[in-house]
Amino acid sequence: MRPSSDERAPATVGGALRWAAAQLRAVTDRPVLEAELLLAALLGVSRAWLFAHPEAPLDEEARRDYARWVAERRGHRPLPYITNEVEFYGLRFIVNEAVLIPRPETELLVEVALAWLSRHPHAVGVDACTGSGCIAATLAHFEPGVRFCATDISPEALRVAQANLRWLRVEGQVHLVQGDLLSMCRRPVDFVFSNPPYVAAEEWGALPPSVRREPRVALFGGEGGLAIIRRLLAQAARALRPGGLLLVEVGARQGEAVLALAHACFPRGSIHLLRDLADRPRLLRVVRGE
């Protein structure tokens, strides 16, 4: 849904925001917020600046570009792919169509991981399926002493992760490796953290159109959404040292199945399923038994 070459947004900040919000009501339940996020990113200003300057004029280029961005969003292109940025755990991350868009529910994994790392400052481990690198870069940012590997099968995703490590100035703490899950681990590790693909094929039709624009390789976890989780658990059972920590984000409907897989792989482990802020099963936590 592209605008014609001469289509423009209104000529002032306030007018453009009202126009865009009206355009976006068909595709989002937060049209005002998205209109603000798009214009703030386009102009390189804060949302607070927009509120304070509703009469500020927009030049011809900005009016055309804003109309194009709004049309792309109306066509269900995810907003972070338009602006090439997203906020996660209070930090700004670069994203594009090569990576899954970081989501608030993944912040639970980060919170639990940071609490554990603060007690194990010299631990070494792996962030598997790193994608944009949001987990790895966030952990490195808040725990400057940590050193670990981050893996992904996609070279395009790893380029995005590298850009985010560079942006947050934590390149020296995280070693990026192209590979499948933990296949490159040659020595025991203290932790494995992962937000793997866990969407089941049968759930595809129920996904919002914008989510279906994200990379399939980062979404789909095979039959029941469990194929990759199953392999990850088996590999982690071999890779983790006794007492090591495994954290895996899972789908809200996968709790019982994931617990069964975890108990099979870690028969002497301490296994829990933590709930997110919406009270949905979200994070598998396993401490390997001695």
Q: In a structure prediction context, what are the per-residue pLDDT tens digits for the chain, which is 290 residues long? A: 454 556 788 899 999 999 999 999 999 999 999 999 999 999 999 999 999 999 999 999 999 999 999 999 999 999 999 999 999 999 999 999 999 999 999 999 999 999 999 999 889 999 999 999 999 999 999 998 888 999 999 999 999 999 999 999 999 999 999 999 998 888 899 999 999 999 888 887 788 888 888 888 888 888 788 999 999 999 999 999 999 999 999 998 888 999 999 999 999 999 999 999 889 999 999 999 77
Q: What is the DSSP string of 69-108?
A: HHHHHHTT--HHHHHTEEEETTEEEE--TTSPPP-GGGHH
Joined tokens for residue 71: 């049309």
Tally Cβ neighbours within 10 Å of residue 169: 11
Whole-angstrom distance, CA of residue 20 vs CA of residue 38: 9
Predicted local distance difference test score (pLDDT) of residue 186? 80
Predicted local distance difference test score (pLDDT) of residue 98? 95
Residue 207 DSSP one-character state = S
Tally Cβ neighbours within 10 Å of residue 243: 12
* pTM metric for this prediction: 0.90
- The 3-state DSSP class for residue 290 equals coil
Asked if 273 and 281 touch (Cβ cutoff 8 Å), the reply is yes
Residue 230 DSSP one-character state = H
Whole-angstrom distance, CA of residue 273 vs CA of residue 256: 9
Amino acid at 220: F
Whole-angstrom distance, CA of residue 215 vs CA of residue 211: 9
Closest CA to 192 of 143, 154, 139, 144: 139
Task: State pLDDT tens for residues 160-198.
Answer: 999 999 999 999 999 999 999 998 888 899 999 999 999
Predicted local distance difference test score (pLDDT) of residue 6? 60
CA distance between the termini of the chain: 58
Q: CA dihedral defined by 253, 88, 157, 72, rounded to 10 degrees? A: 90
Strands 189-194 and 124-128: parallel
Residues in the chain: 290
Domains of the chain, start order: 13-75 (1.10.8.10), 87-93+97-287 (3.40.50.150)
Asked if 1 and 23 touch (Cβ cutoff 8 Å), the reply is no
- The 3-state DSSP class for residue 273 equals strand
Give the percent of the chain with pLDDT over 90: 79
Predicted local distance difference test score (pLDDT) of residue 253? 87
Whole-angstrom distance, CA of residue 174 vs CA of residue 124: 10
Whole-angstrom distance, CA of residue 76 vs CA of residue 146: 38
Q: CA dihedral defined by 103, 218, 271, 141, rounded to 10 degrees? A: -50
Predicted local distance difference test score (pLDDT) of residue 287? 96
Whole-angstrom distance, CA of residue 168 vs CA of residue 170: 6
- The 3-state DSSP class for residue 189 equals strand
| Tokens 């009270």 sit on residue | 279
